[in-house]
Structure 1
Amino acid sequence: MAFKKESAQSHIRAFLGEGTEFEGLLSFDGTVRIDGKFKGEINTDDCLIIGETGYIEAEIKAGHLIVMGTFNGNVTAAKKVEIVSTGKLMGNIISPALIVLEGGVIEGNIHMKGVADQLAKKEKVVNLQEVKPAQAAQAAGGKNASSPNIRAN
């Protein structure tokens, strides 16, 4: 399992339990778990856990987001987003890492921030030119080529 309950619960600094409702701006350090309802904006460099009974409508900027309940909105995560089997995320995700367990739901766009940049640096642009069979035969010493060859310039 991608998320260990006992380790996260032992480090939770704040908890909004089931039946609570909060609206506004929430900024915090450490790990916060929301099992109630929240509407607004959430900012943290640390971890936000949306519990199984949690319902969030927000714009979230977090280091790490774990979704076990329902989240409507957009998230930008510096480290990763995890959606467990009971989690539903309706909105856009920007994160370098994404973990979705079987049963987890995403409805929205995903941008793997940082990943595309790393891949672009690793890839070399290669110009490919198709060689016609007649040219290939000449290059091969007059042998017949049944399929076109491709070579890099």
Structure 2
Amino acid sequence: MAISMWALSDSKGSPEHAEDNFTFLARGVEFKGVLNFDGTVRVDGRLEGEIHTTGMVIVGESAIINGIISAGVLTNSGKINGTVTATERVQILKQGVLIGDIRTPAITIADGAHFHGMCDMGADKWTDDANQPNNNVHDLSLRRNKMRAPNL
């Protein structure tokens, strides 16, 4: 299998440190299934299924992903068709295409990138506030018939 893990820095000297793990799915590799990782995942091949990590997912220019991505950060230069959840942010770079729904608190879409879908950036608080009565707003429709006609 062409999935490899390397320690980016060996300062801790232990593979238990998730932020040091780097996983690579190379160009030309096709994978179907569910991938659960700690740390950073870079995909340059084809994946059909799911990727789950609390770290970063980097989708290279040659990558094609059909499925679900759950990560801390997603950086996309390839093609994604599916659902994306990122706890920190989503970045769709110039060459990137993302078709599907996104749930993230922050998103960046570069000029030339393509996105088609829904994006939920956690506006639940705003919609809750919108339902609260506002005493500073007055209904002017009640005064519509009482307005004076302009002098012509």
Short-chain TM bin: 0.7 to 0.9
| Percent of aligned pairs with the same amino acid | 38
Match in the other structure for 1:34: 43
Consecutive unaligned residues of structure 1, counting only runs of 5 or more, are 1-8, 137-143, 147-153
C-alpha distance 134-27 of structure 1, shift in aligned 2 (>3 A): closer
Q: Is the contact made by 2:21 and 2:38 (CA closer than 8 Å) also made in structure 1?
A: no
Match of 1:85, as an amino acid? K
Give the alignment of 1:2-151 within 5 angstroms: 13-112=22-121, 114=122, 116-120=123-127, 125-126=133-134, 127-130=137-140, 132=143
Work out which of the two has the higher radius of gyration on C-alpha atoms and give 1 or 2: 1
Cα distance between partner residues in 2 of 1:133 and 1:87? 52
Cα distance between partner residues in 1 of 2:110 and 2:75? 11
Q: Secondary structure at the match of 1:128?
A: coil
Q: Is the contact made by 1:12 and 1:33 (CA closer than 8 Å) also made in structure 2?
A: no
Structure 1 residue 103: deviation in Å?
0.6
C-alpha distance 132-77 of structure 1, shift in aligned 2 (>3 A): same
TM-score, normalising length from structure 2? 0.73
Consecutive unaligned residues of structure 2, counting only runs of 5 or more, are 1-7, 10-19
Q: Is the contact made by 2:23 and 2:40 (CA closer than 8 Å) also made in structure 1?
A: yes
C-alpha distance 134-86 of structure 1, shift in aligned 2 (>3 A): closer
Match of 2:28, as an amino acid? G
TM-score, normalising length from structure 1? 0.73
Cα distance between partner residues in 2 of 1:30 and 1:135? 67
Cα distance between partner residues in 2 of 1:48 and 1:89? 14
Shift >4 Å, 4+ stretches: 9-12, 121-124, 133-136
Match of 1:132, as an amino acid? R
Cα distance between partner residues in 2 of 1:69 and 1:107? 14
Structure 1 residue 120: deviation in Å?
3.6
